[in-house]
Amino acid sequence: MSTIMNLTVLRRFIQLIMFIFLVYGSVIVGFYAADKISGALPSLSCAYDQMNADYCALIPLQHQFHHRLGSAVDSGQFLMIVMPVFTTLATFFIMFIILNKAFCGWVCPLGFFQEVMQLLGQKLGVRKVDSLSHTAVDKVRPVKWLMLGGLVFGLPALTSLGFLSDEWGDPFCQICPSRILTTLLSADTDQVFVDTSTPSYMVLSILGDFLFGLTLALAMTLRQPFCRICPMLALHAVFRKLGLARLVKKGTSRCDKCGLCAEACPMDIRELQTDFNHVEKSHDITLPDCTLCGRCVEFCPDKDVLQLRYLNIPIFSADPNYFKKRKKAQKQWDEIKVVNLDTARKVKS
Amino acid sequence: MFRITILLVLLQINSAYADLHWQPVPTAPDPHHKRGAKTLLLTDLDETQPVEIVLIHSDLTRSDLSHDSATIQLKPTGKNSYHALFAQQHSEGLEVSAIRYIYLNGRPVDASPQELLNETTSRLQIIPAPLPREHWKYESRNSYFFKILFDGNPLASHPILASTSFGSSQIMHTNEDGIVTLTIPEDFPKIIVQRNATPPGELRLFTSIEADGTRHETSLSAPYRVSPQNWKSASLGFLFIGFGALTGLLLIRKLPAYNRRKRS
């Protein structure tokens, strides 16, 4: 392995290709073809982005709950909501079963953008926070479930049943940083606004803008800040045992002392180090926050302790030789800085 | 210059020729987004001549809707995407047509909206370039492109009259590719500062040409909505992004850094 050929470089290359396709897809596949792809695949549709080709299951789910639940309850015809939701989830599964949570780590444009911001922060020498404290991680982890349950299903359902005004029909999209990011990147500023028409719209639009700015800045120092609370991560987590791609561990007694895998993980999954040590058999450790980025496998120094598997076939395994070269490549890369704005404090253990 | 004068004479002054165009007949709002029939009226129809009305479905099949009345009920076709509602009248030395593209919901179809636009309807055509995608509407203050074709060829430097149901009108000319750029005016008599609260206006494009001793006139009509710029402030939006970024930068300085490796 040369110093620049490794799994992370391959992943970034795929992320870049997917980013171009998902953000500028209509230029590639054509204006109407993009519309058709979006229409035919509800798991790939962002109604706000006119240039994409496209990628989110969350807006059809919100719309179906917003527009159909009230009518279904009124009429007693629950098929009118079950069928569209089933169709959305079925098309989501097509993509999900193929990719599993690798969608987050290899495809999602917002995830890639945060990684680019992190690289930018590192090259500018902005203070790097490798990890949040365990307490902070434990507090942040449930937020993604609240986002999924509350913003994707709960508020649209309450709106449809008449408990909330119409503004709360697609609350997640109103605050989604990806909506602002992908439209801005296609030179469309229409999604950057404060909507003064009603108090609810004003609150949602301010939250959306603020969250985008916050993500932009935090991503320069903390890895994947928005991914940690993204409802798509939660939706993937629900079905993660169905996907064909897996992260598998066959721990050894050394795992307890090492922990390089946990250090490499951009999502602060400390269980990579603490769970399934001293075991005879491989275990699926595709944990709820995992994005299948494979960094833990790259930085595991023991042979075959961690593996990325597809259809249970190992496609990338931990290897001591790979580890040595990867660590050296990372060190060389980290030393390259354009400027040094680092004001780091002493790291707590 | 001569053609402009002719167009002005024919379209702006109360001429003997009809400005045939489609316009919607308002119906009661549907609170549950059910897919009911749409009612459309063929305005300025020459009652003395037969009219041919065709609905070109999104899958490019055609339905003949010709009948005696100028009002038609357009029922859901069960097919998704744009449909073209086309009307045409022939008389001695005159061919008049009107088209309107209507988005209907239903199952996906194989044909794209571009294939629908490529369907030949009349010799003289006004073609949106492109049609708005789903959730994207014509809005005041924004600019849109339209292509003018005669026998399938673009008409360069050709005049086209754009008018609205609120009385605005302007004459524009196509470029060398037969494309005209229209900025829809903000001419709503009363703007309710909330999305979808102001009733939409009607945009009408007219053009005409003389060829082979026959006068060809055509129109394209479409609804347009109030620009959301009336209640959306981009500068405030950028300001709050700035606040968010500033908060993030402050947090960066405050966040304690931990090492997530468990030390033995």
Q: pLDDT tens across A165-217, in order?
A: 888 999 999 999 988 988 888 788 888 999 999 999 999 999 999 999 999 99
DSSP H or E run through B1: none
Give CA–CA dist A92/A44, Å, rounded: 8
Q: Find the mean pLDDT for residues A117-139.
A: 85
Across chain B, mean pLDDT equals 85
List b or e across A157-188, with b for residues whose CB sees 16 or more CB atoms inside 10 angstroms: bbbbeeebeebbbbbbbbbbbbbbbbbbbbee
For the cut 60, the answer to whether the pLDDT of residue B145 exceeds it is yes
Tell me the pLDDT band of A134, cut-offs 50, 70 and 90: confident
Share of chain B above pLDDT 70, in %: 86
Which of B32, B231, B243 is facing A210, going by the closest CB pair? B243
Q: Does B143 touch chain A (CB under 8 A)?
A: no
- Contact (CB<8Å) B233/A193: yes
With cut-offs at 50, 70 and 90, classify the pLDDT of residue A349: very low
- Over pLDDT 70: what percentage of chain A? 88
For residue A279 the two structure tokens come to 């075991």
pLDDT (tens digit, 9 = 90+) per residue, A51-80?
A: 555 557 888 889 889 988 888 888 888 888
**Model confidence at B261: pLDDT above 60:** no
Q: Is the pLDDT of residue B263 over 60?
A: no
Domains of chain B (ranges plus CATH)? Answer: 2-233 (2.60.40.10)
- Report the largest interatomic distance among the alpha carbons of chain A, rounded to a whole angstrom: 65
Which residues of chain B make contact with A197, given a CB cutoff of 8 A? Answer: 193-195, 231-232
**Closest partner residue to B234 among A74, A127, A192, by Cβ?**
A192
> What is the model's pLDDT at position A241?
84
- At A128 the pLDDT is 75
pLDDT digits (tens, 9 = 90+) for B211-255: 989 999 999 999 999 999 999 999 999 999 999 999 998 888 877
Task: Report whether A224 contacts A119 (CB < 8 A).
Answer: no
Q: What is the mean pLDDT of residues B158-166?
A: 95
Q: Cα(A279)–Cα(B192) distance, rounded to whole angstroms?
A: 67
The residue of chain B with its CA nearest to that of A199 is B194
| CA atoms within 13 Å, Cβ hemisphere of A34 | 24
Q: What does the buried/exposed string (b/e) look like for A273-286 if buried means 16 or more CB atoms within 10 Å of the residue's CB?
A: beebbeeeebeebb
pLDDT value of residue A40: 53
Q: Which of residues 202-241 of B touch A (CB under 8 A)?
A: 228, 231-234, 236-241
For residue A32, pLDDT beyond 70 = no
Predicted pLDDT at B12: 46
A139 pLDDT more than 90? yes
Number of CB pairs, chain A paired with chain B, less than 8 A apart: 184
CA-to-CA distance for B152 and A349, rounded, in angstroms? 73
In which region does residue A182 sit, left (phi positive, over 0), alpha (psi from -120 to 50) or beta (all else)? alpha
Helix (H) or strand (E) holding A309: strand A306-310
Contact indicator for B65, B53 with CB cutoff of 8 Å: yes
Mean pLDDT score, A117-146: 87
Confidence of residue A19 (pLDDT cuts 50, 70, 90): confident
Nearest to A36 among B112, B236, B238 (CB): B112
CA distance from start to end of chain B: 89
Over residues A319-328, the mean pLDDT reads 92
Task: Indicate if the pLDDT at residue A106 is higher than 50.
Answer: yes
Q: What residues of chain B, 8 to 67, have a C-beta less than 8 Å from chain A?
A: 32-34
